[in-house]
Amino acid sequence: MDSSIDPAEILAVRRLSAGYGGRAVVSGIDLSLVRGDILGLLGANGSGKSTLLRAITGQIRPLGGSVTVDGADLAGAPERAKSGFGLAMDPSDLPAALSGRQYLQLVASIRGCAEDDWPGVDVAERLGLKRWIERPIAEYSLGTRAKIAIAAALLGAPPLLILDESLNGLDPLAAFEVKRIILALASSGRHAVIISTHVVESVPGLCNRAVLLADGRMARAWHARQLAEAGRMPGAFEAEVMRALTVQAADG
């Protein structure tokens, strides 16, 4: 491991450009996450949130720049870098034929852990997955698919948890439980979390950092203190985000 790397730094993204067919969708992205961070990734549809997460998780090759996960360079040591994060799959990407238990066993076998090796809590129990777990994923509702995807992402307690709009389909109780788990992970000081979401109002209460993407660039960033201040006044953070989005739309 490079001696210049901060041991607390879990994710380091430097001058990242990524896109499809040689055309950049996101460019010039610099991002650093340390243990304890919960980053809210915001942006309009097509702003580049999912493309950025695809580049960070190695699903597309960056056009430029670098991604380092827990000290491992994604391009140089992809398997070591990928063992540093757990990604909650998009519900449509889950293996529909397998049962929930089989999917957990598949992910656990790759990560070299037990199928119930979650950080501190029984996630299946907390998210109410037990009665569905023997059934094929094809029979699951959108929310149940999101739950099994989150449960699988947490297996083996990876240092970085990535949720790409995974909170959207959850019922209120499951969403509450997932938020509690995320806060507990971050407060343990061993994990960091990235949450890409359109639920802007949930960000100040859940995240200690936020980034707004617009036209493939980081248009605005909020630190813990700014988020805490915005969170004290109901609707203040949403108003700020909407203002930034409106300005970007007008400039665009």
Binding site for another protein (CB under 8 A): 21-22, 54, 57-61, 78-80, 82-83, 85, 87, 89-90, 93-95, 97-99, 102-103, 105-111, 134-136, 138-139
Which residue, 22 or 252, is less far from another protein as judged by CB? 22
For residues 48 and 27, give the distance between their C-alpha atoms in angstroms, rounded to a whole number: 9
Place of tokens 């056009």: 63
Which residue, 59 or 187, is less far from another protein as judged by CB? 59
Task: Name the amino acid, one letter, at 146.
Answer: A
The minimum distance between CB 80 and another protein, in angstroms, equals 7
Which residue, 20 or 176, is less far from another protein as judged by CB? 20
Q: What is the CA radius of gyration of the chain?
A: 18
What are the residue ranges of helices labelled H in the chain? 49-56, 78-82, 100-111, 123-126, 142-153, 172-187, 203-206, 224-232, 236-251
The minimum distance between CB 138 and another protein, in angstroms, equals 7
CA 127 from centre of chain: 18
Which residue, 163 or 214, is less far from another protein as judged by CB? 163
| Residue 99 CB neighbour total at 10 angstroms | 19
The minimum distance between CB 56 and another protein, in angstroms, equals 10
| Residue 47 CB neighbour total at 10 angstroms | 22
**For the chain, how are helix, strand and coil distributed in percent, rounded to 5?**
40, 25, 35
Which residue, 47 or 50, is less far from another protein as judged by CB? 50
Beta pairing class for 64-69 and 9-20: antiparallel
The minimum distance between CB 71 and another protein, in angstroms, equals 14
The minimum distance between CB 239 and another protein, in angstroms, equals 35
Which residue, 78 or 231, is less far from another protein as judged by CB? 78
Q: In what order do the strands lie in the sheet with 192-196?
A: 85-88, 160-164, 192-196, 38-43, 209-214, 217-222
The minimum distance between CB 90 and another protein, in angstroms, equals 7
